[in-house]
Amino acid sequence: MINHSSGYYYSTIAQNKWGIAAFLTFLVLIIIWGVHGIGFIYLILLFLFYNLGMLSLSIWEKNKRTETLKEIFNKIKNNEYENSGEIVLPSYLSGIQSEIRSMYEKIQSDMDYMNKLEKVRSEFLGNVSHELRTPIFTIQGYIETLINGAIDDKNVNKQFLEKASRHTNNLNNLLNDLIDISMMEAGQMRLSFCYFNAEEYFSSVVNEFIPQAEKKSLRLYLHKVPSKLQLFGDKEKIKQVMTNLIQNAIRYTETGGVEIKVEEEERSGKITVSDTGIGIAPEYLDRIFERFFRVNKARSKEAGDSGLGLAIVKHILDAHGTKIEVQSKLNEGTSFSFRLKK
Ligand code: ATP
Ligand code: MG
Cα dihedral across residues 254, 207, 321, 229: positive or negative: negative
Please calculate the CA angle 77-81-82 and round it to the nearest 5 degrees: 130
What mean pLDDT do residues 81-97 have? 89
Query: Is the separation of the CB atoms in 26 and 43 below 8 Å?
Result: no
**Burial category of 274 from C-beta neighbours within 10 Å (exposed 0-12, middle 13-18, buried 19 and up):** buried
Which residues is 222 bridged to in the sheet?
A: 260
Instruction: Summarize pLDDT for 185-196 with one digit per residue, the tens.
Output: 888 888 999 999
pLDDT at 2: 39
Is 220 near ligand 1, meaning CB less than 6 Å away?
no
Instruction: Summarize pLDDT for 215-258 with one digit per residue, the tens.
Output: 999 999 999 999 999 999 999 999 999 999 999 999 999 999 99
In angstroms, what is the span from residue 262 Cα to ligand 1's centroid? 22
In terms of pLDDT, which residue wins out, 42 or 175? 175
Which ligand is the nearest neighbour of the Cα of 169?
A: 1
Cα–Cα distance measured from residue 240 to residue 60, given in angstroms and rounded to the nearest whole number? 69
Say whether 193 sits in a helix, a strand or coil. Answer: coil
The mean of the pLDDT values for the chain is 88
Is 250 near ligand 1, meaning CB less than 6 Å away?
no
- What is the per-residue DSSP string for 80-133? --SSGGG----GGGGGGHHHHHHHHHHHHHHHHHHHHHHHHHHHHHHHHHHHHH
Domain locations along the chain: 4-80, 119-185, 193-341
Is 277 near ligand 1, meaning CB less than 6 Å away?
yes
Q: Residue 94: CA atoms inside 13 Å, Cβ hemisphere, count?
A: 3
Single-letter residue type at 198: A
Element containing residue 29 per DSSP (H, E) = helix 17-36
Contacts of 257 (CB under 8 A, 6+ apart): 213, 218, 219, 220, 221, 275, 276
**Is the pLDDT score of 282 beyond 80?**
yes
pLDDT at 301: 66
pLDDT at 37: 66
Query: Is the separation of the CB atoms in 305 and 294 below 8 Å?
Result: yes
What mean pLDDT do residues 14-37 have? 68
Cα–Cα distance measured from residue 150 to residue 160, given in angstroms and rounded to the nearest whole number? 9
What mean pLDDT do residues 163-192 have? 89
Which of 244, 259, 256, 274 has its CA nearest to residue 217? 256
Say whether 130 sits in a helix, a strand or coil. Answer: helix
Q: Which atom of ligand 1 is nearest to the CA of 312?
A: 11
Query: Is the separation of the CB atoms in 218 and 256 below 8 Å?
Result: yes
119-185 matches 193-341 in fold: no
**241, 242, 247, 248: residue to mutate for ligand 1 pocket, most atoms within 8 A of CB:** 248
DSSP state of 340: E
**Is the pLDDT score of 11 beyond 70?**
no
**Burial category of 110 from C-beta neighbours within 10 Å (exposed 0-12, middle 13-18, buried 19 and up):** exposed
Cα–Cα distance measured from residue 36 to residue 115, given in angstroms and rounded to the nearest whole number? 75
Is 244 near ligand 1, meaning CB less than 6 Å away?
yes
CATH number of 119-185: 1.10.287.130
Q: Quick check: pTM over 0.85? A: no
CATH class in words for 193-341: alpha beta
In terms of pLDDT, which residue wins out, 20 or 117? 117
Query: Is the separation of the CB atoms in 218 and 250 below 8 Å?
Result: yes
**Is the pLDDT score of 208 beyond 50?**
yes
